[in-house]
Amino acid sequence: DAGITQSPRHKVTETGTPVTLRCHQTENHRYMYWYRQDPGHGLRLIHYSYGVKDTDKGEVSDGYSVSRSKTEDFLLTLESATSSQTSVYFCAIRLDTGITEAFFGQGTRLTVV
Amino acid sequence: AQSVTQLDSQVPVFEEAPVELRCNYSSSVSVYLFWYVQYPNQGLQLLLKYLSGSTLVESINGFEAEFNKSQTSFHLRKPSVHISDTAEYFCAVSERGSQGNLIFGKGTKLSVKP
């Protein structure tokens, strides 16, 4: 499973509150990604990182920020959660060995009420 | 810009029947192509991939997909499905030489009935 851990696995939060989701990998690969999955939309890229402090925006980055202060951790923050951010969030990594596919974590189900 | 179209949102089939899940993509550059499978309440697992070489790629559990450059397609097939194949299947593409960002289709739910 490429050693990816997402926390928390489930969270319910209120509109307007900040929320941080964590993705941890055990093998220190450079590339990490955050996706959200919504019915009828598949998975859409929020942000990605290609190294410590190196991040960039994806397709649906509005309302989200990320940080990567250590190779093994990639944090996704919803500064002020809205109901439209209710979703399942997946972290993924790409191995540094030249393999092109991504490996996914188990997901975090976030509900904003 | 890249995009991926999965033409069927749901595909119901009977056990032991053949199935084809369709995927078309658009891109102005060379791409890598992937099929991922997601079982209920789980993450995504790689099913198979096309990087280069032979246009027909196979998975260990009997699925195969064929890259067709002229039709920009990467359809997934299995000659005989099992109940355990019930899952959602996602087609994805990434540009060669890119940061590895995957663009996903909207998914196809395969439901295998006894």
Average pLDDT, chain B: 92
Residue by residue, what is the 3-state secondary structure of A77-105? EECCCCHHHCEEEEEEEECCCCCCCEEEC
Give residue B32's Cα distance to chain centre: 12
pLDDT, tens only, B56-111: 988 988 999 999 989 999 999 999 999 999 999 999 998 877 777 899 999 999 99
pLDDT per position as a tens digit, B85-95: 999 999 999 88
Residue pair A26/B73 in contact (Cβ under 8 Å)? The answer is no
Contact yes or no for A94/A40 (Cβ under 8 A): no
Q: How far apart are CA A26 and CA A1, in angstroms?
A: 11
Least CB–CB distance from B106: residue in A40, A58, A94: A40
Q: What is the mean pLDDT of residues A60-64?
A: 96
DSSP strands (E only) in B1-114? 3-5, 10-14, 19-21, 24-26, 31-38, 44-50, 56-58, 64-68, 73-78, 87-95, 103-104, 108-113
User: Which of A49, A54, A44 is closest to A89 using CA atoms?
Assistant: A44
Out of B102, B106, B107, name the one closest to residue A102 (CB): B102
Whether B99 and A107 lie within 8 Å, measured CB to CB:
no
Residue A64 contacts B where some CB pair is shorter than 8 Å:
no
